């Protein structure tokens, strides 16, 4: 059987942590008198912690010192982690385990490719960490999505050529990163938002084992 590399984004693909990022960023933004909406939150999907804070400050026309910047980043993460600490297996998005199990049972390469520095902690919380042969997260990369770095490191860790890799992503930047890496991009979410992806599904309940088998044979 062919072996391919399947690389999963974390936030919004495996677990719905976007809601916790939203709550933590909103609290932080409001604490410095900056408005923060769900629409703005959309624009932070796939974006690193540093870049997210930079965007929020620019939306609020705020300039702050480097020390204040670091303090706000730490504050946001502490707040975010208070939600993560309460997470469990019930927060895994529907049918994600089904697909992960199928890939692992069929000896496919499975890696994580996430911008989050909290990725390992979250995978442990939801008890999925043993499903991944390689984990590439925000601690391993120097260039943010849409740069392909995170996925290229993932492919290397799986011993796969980029063209033999398939990426699952919920963010525009992530889909672009997969495309820039010359990988097959599968968008998880809204077709109109993720129009640059090779395929788009609302969620994993729409992805059949037959479709996965087709990807493996390609
Ligand atoms: C991405 C999320 O996966 O990780 C972003 O989509 C988040 O919203 C980024 O900002 C960094 O995450 P963390 O956990 O390192 O703050
Ligand atoms: Mg994501």
Measured in angstroms, how far is the CA atom of residue 183 from the centroid of ligand 1?
22
Give the pTM: 0.95
7, 64, 151, 180 from 144: Cα distances, Å: 16, 23, 11, 12
**Mutate which of 9, 48, 50 to test ligand 1's pocket (most atoms within 8 Å of Cβ)?**
48
Q: Percent of the chain scored above 90 by pLDDT? A: 97
Give the span between the Cα atoms of 56 and 72, in whole angstroms.
11
Question: What is the percent of the chain with per-residue pLDDT over 70, rounded to a whole number?
Answer: 100
pLDDT in tens, 99-158: 999 999 999 999 999 999 999 999 999 999 999 999 999 999 999 999 999 999 999 999
pLDDT digits (tens, 9 = 90+) for 75-94: 999 999 999 999 999 999 99
User: Residue 166's pLDDT is what?
Assistant: 98
Name the residue at shortest CA distance from atom 12 of ligand 1: 116
207 CA to centre of ligand 1 in angstroms: 25
Q: What is the mean pLDDT of the chain?
A: 96
Which residues have CB under 6 Å of ligand 1? 10-11, 21, 44-49, 52, 77, 114-118, 138, 171
Q: Is 190 among the residues known to form the active site? A: no
Cα-to-centroid distance, 5 and ligand 1 (Å):
23
Instruction: Give the model's confidence band at 42: pLDDT under 50 very low, under 70 low, under 90 confident, else very high.
Output: confident
Bridge partners (DSSP) of residue 209 are none
- What number of residues does the chain have? 218
Residue pair 153/165 in contact (Cβ under 8 Å)? The answer is no
pLDDT of residue 2: 72
Q: How far is it, in rounded angstroms, from Cα 155 to Cα 55?
A: 30
Q: How far apart are CA 124 and CA 53, in angstroms?
A: 26
Lookup result for tokens 């050529």: 161
Sign of CA dihedral 111, 208, 44, 175: positive
CA-CA distance, 201 to 185, in Å (whole number)?
11
Report the C-alpha gap between 40 and 44 in whole angstroms.
Answer: 7
């Amino acid at each position: 059987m062919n072996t391919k590399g399947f690389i999963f984004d974390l936030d919004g693909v495996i677990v719905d942590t976007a809601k916790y990022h939203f709550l933590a960023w909103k609290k932080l933004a409001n604490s410095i008198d900056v408005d923060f909406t769900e629409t703005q939150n959309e624009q932070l999907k796939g974006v690193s912690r540093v870049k997210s804070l930079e965007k929020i400050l620019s939306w609020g026309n705020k300039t702050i010192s480097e020390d204040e910047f670091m303090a706000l980043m730490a504050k946001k993460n502490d707040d975010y982690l208070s939600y993560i600490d309460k997470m469990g297996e019930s927060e895994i998005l529907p049918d994600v385990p089904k697909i992960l199990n199928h890939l692992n049972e069929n000896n496919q390469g499975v890696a994580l490719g996430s911008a989050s520095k909290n990725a390992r902690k979250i995978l442990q919380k939801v008890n999925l960490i043993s499903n991944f042969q390689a984990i590439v997260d925000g601690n391993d990369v120097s260039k943010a999505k849409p740069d392909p770095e995170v996925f290229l490191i993932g492919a290397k860790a799986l011993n796969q050529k980029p063209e033999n890799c398939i990426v699952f992503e919920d963010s525009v930047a992530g889909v672009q990163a997969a495309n820039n890496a010359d990988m097959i991009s599968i968008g998880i979410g809204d077709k109109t938002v993720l129009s640059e992806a090779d395929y788009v599904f609302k969620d994993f309940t729409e992805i059949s084992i037959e479709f996965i088998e087709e990807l493996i044979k390609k």
